[in-house]
Structure 1
Amino acid sequence: MVLADLGRKITTALRSLSNATIINEEVLLAMLKEICKALLEADVNIKLVKRLQENVKSAVNFEDMAAGINRRRLIQSTVFNELCRLVDPGVPAWTPTKGKNNIIMFVGLQGSGKTTTCTKLASYYQKKGWKTCLICADTFRAGAFDQLKQNATKARIPFYGSYTEMDPVIIAQEGVDKFKEDNFEIIIVDTSGRHKQEDSLFEEMLQVSQAVEPHNIVFVMDATIGQACEAQAQAFKDKVDVASVIVTKLDGHAKGGGALSAVAATKSPVTFIGTGEHIDDLEPFKTKPFVSKLLGMGDIEGLMDKVSELKLDDNQELLDKLKHGQFTLRDMYEQFQNIMKMGPINQIVGMIPGFSQDFMSSGNERESVARLKRLLTMMDSMNDKELDHPQGAKVFRQPGRIARVARGSGTSQREVQELISQYTKFAAMVKKMGGIKGLFKGGDMTKNVNPSQMAKLNSQVAKMIDPRVLQQMGGMGGLQNMMRQMQQGGGMGGAMGGFPGGR
């Protein structure tokens, strides 16, 4: 069972509490049975599932429970915490030091996605302002250097390797020395893999490790092998000092529950998870946000990180416009560009509370990206007057403008009219938000806006959302809960409200 199916089944089991008139031991056991069944189907080790079951039972003791305790909330919170314990070894992950040389060495079996993941991690740090580089010390696999070179060139990351030197230790040492001299902060060394665990592989790893003295050895592991991950991770950890794990291929049909829980059992913290082939398909792994996202509660922390990367705070002009309820077509164009920069759309949607992890399939992802690009193309065909007019929709009432934009962008007039209609809704929404005194002051809506104003705002947002999307979010109640969580920063107290009866 894939992770999305696991999350859906656990969420369904937790929601069954809301249908029960009385919460007693019988209801608890029935719910636990469904959760444990889902975990076993996701390839989670039976011992770990049994431990979760026993821990929930002991934490929810109806005989000793004080009067007035919200039983639904207690059970939901306890299950959430136990799911976190299932994938969290409780070991702090290694973090790089800014302004210093941080050497990261990658190890793993051939075919686990090691070389691709090296580039993804280098790109991740590069986007956060680190000076990153790549070294190919894989001389075992034909084409390894070509692959790394191609990936690094595409991502504009400096790299080092050799077509003539066959000793991986020499290549690794030369590369590290070169990049140290140039004051690179993140130096990633890709090493050889094998089809299976062999003495020659471990010996080579050890020699490279002794030569470059890495600050962090990352074990890259293929999630599709499920519970077998534990034996693999342990074998590598016994030979070299593995400080962190990156689990790849968690998209598709990987039994990710087995992989993640197996790694946690080896006391090696998972730091990132790979969710696809693209360079942005690498997510930092944080236990609570991951479980929240799995259960459709969203990942506000991750979403805020994505937004902060765009440095929108620097755009004072836009913030000033929003405060005065102004929003032009050019502003909408720039926001669409920002959405594209944030990474895969299905990844972003999964971070929003109320959306399940599988809300968007890869097909829908492609369709959404294509749709956004089409909208941007239409706006590329608009002139400055149309883009910057404070009431852009009025300009397009003049004959010929819509036809000209459609002709210039290779789209139909109906599509251009739909874009103008969508813009009109956005602009009306911004105008209403701008009319709420103090909304943008200090960035905390809960302190600045009274409940009646927020209710009106929620209602306006609901009118803008596709009815199918609103239904997926749980109707108006789900939307209000999403707004509340976003205002509160997505803490656990807000997250539990995602289940009916959770508050």
Structure 2
Amino acid sequence: MFDVLSDRLEEAWKKLRGQDAITHTNIQETLKEVRRALLEADVNLQVVKNFIIDVEKSAIGIKVIGGVNPGQQFIKVVYEELVKVMGESASPLARAENNPTVILMVGLQGTGKTTATAKLAHYLKKQKQSCLMVAADIYRPAAIDQLKTLGDQIEIPVFELGNQENPVDIAIQGVNRAKEMDLDVVIIDTAGRLQVDQEMMLELAQIKESINPDDTLLVVDAMTGQEAANLAQVFHEQIKVTGTILTKMDGDTRGGAALSVRQVSGQPIKFVGVGEKIDALQLFYPDRMASRILNMGDILTLVEKAQEEIDLSDMEQLQSKILDAKFDFNDFLKQTRLMKSVGSFSSILKMVPGLNKINTKDIEKGESELKRTEAMIGSMTLEERKNPDLLAKSPSRRNRIAKGSGHSETEISKLIKNFTRMRTMMQQLGKGGIPGMGNGIPSMGDLFGQKGNQKKKTKKVKKKKGFGDL
């Protein structure tokens, strides 16, 4: 997401290297690069024009802070303008004074509307809100069955009357059912078309008039670029949407939709879909998205995702096991799977400032080695996982694990040796440090087993300055 745009913007900053201040003359080449980068990202032309004017106005004559070069100061200006373009602050869902809050989902076919309905219901469930989903799409084959399947998956009820009833009646009865069940939220999935047509708009207008929703959310495909913004404008003009959900933000999207929707349609982006999994829906924060676009990471979102998955009681138990040197292979597997539940290596690293430029091949290599380690552990008995010391004393056990996992006995021995070293050092760290160890702490690559005997090449990495340094 935004990789091409981010790389092009980084090239733009280089135009200001060696300058003492930002002037009308020396900023022009940089602005041209920024303009080109935004157009290549499929941002709406008028949005680009206005953005460049605002950036130039804010940047020229700005007082450059001591110790900060003009390029860094310019990045700060671009960041602030990006946040303004995308909405400045998050736009949460509306809340009705009396339950249920009614949310109407609209959009064209193929944008992921039904899946977005289930994702939103799951999101609200995690917020401790009770939900009902209403299947009002009677035209698309299997749309009702799809919503029911998703409802079973996330354990949220689905109201449906089949595909012979009028969608308006289905919506009305669905809202009434939510009232009877005293639920917090009812989400209505409506029918879409391959393109905007009057019949679809008329039906949506009738549904909206009959149920008076608190939020009307348009689901659009982020991969359509500025066309997503144009679609949002059309829907808003005809049925008055209150916000958008951008789907497929994890795909090969160039960012044009996120940067255009609010400016073109006047309606905020409320959520973004960042994957196929049912929990891959995030509240849209303009400031965090701007940080990602400028390759400055997104620590807040990463922390929030981790907090959703981490059980504090489990962490306290793990800490106790570390201090007593009882950390075992079961604990190791649990922690690696926890990390996977937060996201892939690449998605996690992109949220950490300074780590988003790590070579993709290195990331893939790390994930591959982790899978090999899991395969080795998977061939151990429960007793061996709980007591790794058994393996250190028994060549026959190591040989059996090697055959079962498809790896050599040497690799198994190396894994056990490095795991034992890691466990000892984790215990010493917990008690206040490892005196005299120098650079002897094994890397994750060592633990995964295959790089311990190679000489490591080290490079000095220049720390990137973030906004906290400005």
Band the TM-score falls in, shorter-chain normalisation: 0.7 to 0.9
C-alpha distance 386-264 of structure 1, shift in aligned 2 (>3 A): farther
Deviations 1:112-139 (A, max 9, x none): 2211211222233334444334221001
Letter in 1 for 2:76: S
Give the match for residue 110 of structure 1.
Answer: 109
Give the whole-Å Cα distance in 1 for the aligned partners of 2:170 and 2:132: 14
Q: Name the amino acid aligned to 1:347.
A: S
Runs of 5+ consecutive residues of structure 2 not aligned to the other structure:
none
Partner of 2:340: 340
Give 1:295 shift.
Answer: 2.5
Answer whether contact 1:120 1:280 (CA < 8 A) is retained.
yes
Q: Does structure 2 conserve the Cα–Cα contact (< 8 Å) formed by 1:88 and 1:287?
A: yes
Q: Which residue of 2 aligns with 1:86?
A: 85
1:496 correspondence with 2:453: no
> Paired residue for 2:68?
70
Distance 2:147 2:368 in 1: 29
Counterpart-to-counterpart distance in 2, 1:59 and 1:134: 46
Cα pair 1:100 1:183 within 8 Å, conserved: yes
CA contact (8 A) 1:3 1:257 kept: no
What's 2:187 paired with? 188
1:434 aligns with 2:430: yes
Aligned length: 456
Q: Matches of residues 386-465 of structure 1 in structure 2 within 5 Å?
A: 386-389=384-387, 392=388, 395-409=391-405, 411-413=407-409, 416-417=412-413, 419-420=415-416, 423-424=419-420, 426-427=422-423, 430-431=426-427, 433-436=429-432, 463-464=443-444
SS at 1:242 equivalent: coil
The answer for the alignment partner of 1:307 in structure 2 is 306
Q: What displacement does 1:65 show?
A: 2.9
User: RMSD in angstroms over aligned alpha carbons?
Assistant: 3.8
In structure 1, the residue matched to 2:38 is 39
Contact residue 107 and residue 220 of structure 2 kept, 8 A? yes
- Contact kept, 8 Å, 2:22 with 2:60, in 1: the verdict is no
Separation (CA, whole Å) in 2 of partners of 1:249 and 1:474: 36
1:325 shift after superposition: 7.3
Change (3 A) 1:381 1:465: closer
Distance 1:55 1:317, change over 3 A: same
Cα separation, 1, equivalents of 2:292 and 2:21? 26
Residue pair 2:247, 2:274 contacting (<8 A) in 1 also: yes
1:102-181 → structure 2 map (5 Å cutoff)? 102-181=101-180
Task: Output the amino acid matched with 1:269.
Answer: P
Q: Percent identity?
A: 29
Judge conservation of contact 2:178–2:185 (CA < 8 Å) in 1: no
Equivalent residue, structure 1, for 2:51: 52
Letter of the structure 1 residue corresponding to residue 352 of structure 2:
I
Matches of 1:343 and 1:100 in 2, distance apart? 34
Question: For the residues of structure 1 that align with 2:360 and 2:114, how far apart are their CA atoms?
Answer: 28
CA shift in 2, pair 1:325/1:33, >3 Å: farther
- Judging by fraction of residues, say which structure has more helix: 1
Pairing 1:212-251 to 2, within 5 Å after superposition: 212-251=211-250
What are the within-5 Å matches in structure 2 for residues 299-378 of structure 1? 299-315=298-314, 316-322=316-322, 327-356=327-356, 372=370, 375-378=373-376
Quick one: which amino acid aligns to residue 434 of structure 1? G
Taking structure 1 as reference, are residues 372 and 86 closer, same or farther at Cα in structure 2, changes over 3 Å only?
same
Instruction: Tell me how far 1:191 sits from its aligned partner.
Output: 0.3
- Distance in 1 (alpha carbons) for counterparts of 2:188 and 2:424: 52
**2:265 corresponding residue in structure 1:** 266
Q: Which amino acid aligns with 2:30?
A: M
Specify the code of the residue in structure 2 equivalent to 1:333: L
1:202–1:67 CA distance, 2 compared to 1 (3 A)? closer
Gaps of 5+ in 1: 438-452, 482-493
Separation (CA, whole Å) in 2 of partners of 1:418 and 1:131: 50
1:384: Cα distance to partner? 4.6
Q: CA–CA distance in 1 between the matches of 2:442 and 2:238? A: 56
* Distance across 1 between alignment mates of 2:79 and 2:305: 25
Could you tell me which residue of structure 1 aligns to residue 18 of structure 2?
20
The 1:296/1:164 distance shift into structure 2, 3 A limit, reads: closer
1:107 deviates by 0.4
Letter in 1 for 2:423: A
- Using the size of structure 1 for normalisation, the TM-score is 0.77
> Residue 300 of structure 1: CA displacement?
0.8
Distance in 2, matches of 1:424 and 1:308, equals 29
Question: What TM-score do the two structures reach when normalised by structure 2?
Answer: 0.82
Partner of 2:379 in structure 1? 381
Q: Is the CA contact (8 Å cut-off) linking 1:275 and 1:281 kept in structure 2?
A: yes
Partner-residue secondary structure (3-state), 1:400: helix
Residues 59/417 of structure 1: CA separation in 2 closer, same or farther (3 Å cut)? farther
Secondary structure of the structure 1 residue equivalent to 2:380: coil
How much does 1:475 deviate?
5.3
Give the residue type in structure 1 aligned to 2:400.
R
